[in-house]
């Protein structure tokens, strides 16, 4: 890595997206040149647990207990040769109490101590699941006083819990990275488990509390249909980052019919100057394969049925192409 070469451990998170002409996490980050192996830790990302009330369409049981509960009730998703199912690890994780999984463990206590000892640490990002559901999040935030803190949240918590959190941490240097990329019925399909009015109200609560907000939009074929409406509402006031969907080839941006590709291209033309947008639009030129179309059709039908979510918000040509 110091010589500028690729390493296998970075393929999953970055290189496989760059090979497709997409913007990876490392390219979205501010460039930092590291020249020595023992460089001090400056940025840290930490996931407290996968506890989450939402079942986002491009997530899975690895990152959401909402997904785990769905699979326990209804069985795995069979999508072509792929299967979305609970692993032995997720089953064990589900049986353990939250405190056993996190800050009461010896490992986590050691990690928190290392954070305190990392005197050059500048920024900590708390990921999920849903960090705001975690009862020990305040303890973690206490250990990182004085650092820049980012909390990645889908806002899948009650108003009262969010209000209590904001009151407790008023004045602390916390930025919320809120996940969303559509509005209305499209939002409620993609971010299943929270309504669009609830999401808007909670964004306003955070903004009114004085904390900074930015948005993370997960780009998939389904989210592209409503992305322009989301950008019209929030991009004039807040930063919106575009992130590729991971490990779901049938959700790649280019897996849609030609008429829908043209429609999306026109709708997003005003936003081509956003970092990464041009690459996503260019990726639409790649033809979808028949296996991808068939897997998407099966997945959308099954997801819609399980979540009791309509698909009428999708373009008619797209639904006809899928055969749903």
Q: Which segment of 88-102, 108-122, 175-189, 302-316 scores lowest on mean pLDDT?
A: 88-102
* Main-chain dihedrals φ then ψ at residue 178, nearest 5 degrees: -90, 135
Q: Which residue has the tokens 């769905």?
A: 70
Strand partners, 82: 79
- Top-confidence residue, 280 or 40: 280
Cβ neighbours of residue 318 under 8 Å, at least 6 residues apart?
Answer: 225, 256, 257, 259, 260
Which domains are delineated in the chain?
A: 1-39 (no CATH), 41-322 (3.80.30.10)
pLDDT band at 294 (very low <50, low <70, confident <90, very high): very high
Q: For strand 174-179 and strand 123-127, is the pairing parallel, antiparallel, or unpaired?
A: unpaired
Q: Which residues contact 175 (CB under 8 A, 6 or more apart)?
A: 148, 149, 150, 151, 211, 212, 213, 214
| pLDDT tens, position by position, 11-25 | 656 776 677 665 666
Lowest mean pLDDT among 5-19, 105-119, 182-196, 222-236: 5-19
């Amino acid at each position: 890595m110091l010589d500028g070469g690729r390493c296998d451990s970075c393929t999953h998170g970055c290189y496989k997206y760059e090979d497709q002409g997409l913007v990876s996490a490392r390219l979205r980050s501010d460039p930092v040149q590291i020249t020595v192996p023992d460089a001090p830790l400056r940025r840290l990302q930490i996931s407290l647990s996968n506890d989450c009330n939402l079942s986002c369409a491009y997530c899975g049981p690895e990152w959401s207990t909402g997904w785990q509960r769905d699979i326990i009730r209804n069985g795995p998703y069979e999508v072509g040769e792929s299967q979305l199912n609970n692993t032995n690890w997720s089953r064990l994780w589900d049986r353990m109490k939250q405190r056993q999984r996190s800050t009461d463990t010896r490992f986590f206590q050691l990690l928190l101590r290392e954070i305190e000892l990392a005197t050059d640490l500048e920024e900590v990002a708390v990921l999920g699941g849903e960090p705001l559901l975690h009862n020990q999040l305040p303890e973690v935030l206490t250990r990182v006083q004085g650092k820049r803190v980012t909390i990645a949240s889908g806002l899948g918590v009650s108003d009262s819990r969010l209000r209590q959190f904001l009151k407790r941490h008023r004045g602390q240097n916390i930025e919320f990275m809120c996940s969303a990329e559509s509005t209305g019925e499209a939002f409620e399909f993609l971010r299943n488990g929270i309504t669009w009015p609830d999401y808007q109200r909670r964004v306003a609560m955070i903004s009114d509390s004085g904390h900074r907000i930015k948005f993370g939009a997960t780009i998939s074929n389904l989210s592209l249909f409503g992305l322009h409406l989301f950008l019209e509402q929030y991009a004039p006031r807040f930063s919106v980052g575009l992130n590729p969907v991971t490990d779901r080839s049938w959700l790649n941006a280019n897996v849609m019919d030609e008429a829908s590709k043209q429609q999306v291209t026109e709708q997003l033309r005003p936003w081509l100057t956003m970092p990464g947008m041009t690459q996503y639009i260019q990726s639409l030129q790649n033809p979808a394969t028949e296996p991808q179309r068939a897997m998407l059709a099966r997945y959308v039908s099954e997801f819609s049925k399980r979540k009791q979510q309509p698909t009428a918000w999708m373009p008619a040509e797209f639904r006809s192409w899928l055969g749903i």
